[in-house]
């Protein structure tokens, strides 16, 4: 049992922050999976739209310091490379 009121409040705040951060992370992961499914099913125009959504969520998540900026940049870079690779394979096919 926590002794002071400030410790109790800090615990409540940390639970709220944890919940909020978890929602942000899962939202980002869902967006990434949706994007990857669009790439796999060769819906490149749809994937382009999802990529901008992933960019937006990655930047917002990094801004709120839920993930680090470098991780957000890495996610965006890898996913854009995936789209470029899919486009080039479509052209060559």
**14-30, pLDDT tens digit by residue?**
999 999 999 999 999 99
Q: How far is CA 77 from the centre of its chain?
A: 12
pLDDT, mean of residues 47-73? 97
pLDDT, mean of residues 55-69? 98
Angstrom distances, CA of residue 31 to CA of 35, 63, 74, 91? 6, 17, 15, 26
Neighbours of 48 (CB within 10 A): 13
Q: Is residue 9 part of a domain?
A: no
- Count of the separate structural domains present in the chain: 1
SS3 assignment, position 1: coil
Q: Is residue 57 part of a domain?
A: yes
Nearest to 60 by CA among 93, 34, 27: 27
Consecutive H or E run containing 28: helix 5-40
Q: Is residue 62 part of a domain?
A: yes
Q: Is residue 75 part of a domain?
A: yes
Higher pLDDT, 91 or 16: 16
pLDDT of res. 93? 57
Q: Which one-letter DSSP state was computed for residue 43? A: -
């Amino acid at each position: 049992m926590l002794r002071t009121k400030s410790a109790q409040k800090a615990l409540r705040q940390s639970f709220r922050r944890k919940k909020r951060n978890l929602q942000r992370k899962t939202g980002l992961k869902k967006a990434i999976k949706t994007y990857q499914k669009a790439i796999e099913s060769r819906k490149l125009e749809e994937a382009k739209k999802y990529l901008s959504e992933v960019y937006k969520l990655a930047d917002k998540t990094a801004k709120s310091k839920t993930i680090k900026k470098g991780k957000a940049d890495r996610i965006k870079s890898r996913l854009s490379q995936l789209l470029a690779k899919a486009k080039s394979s479509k052209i060559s096919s």
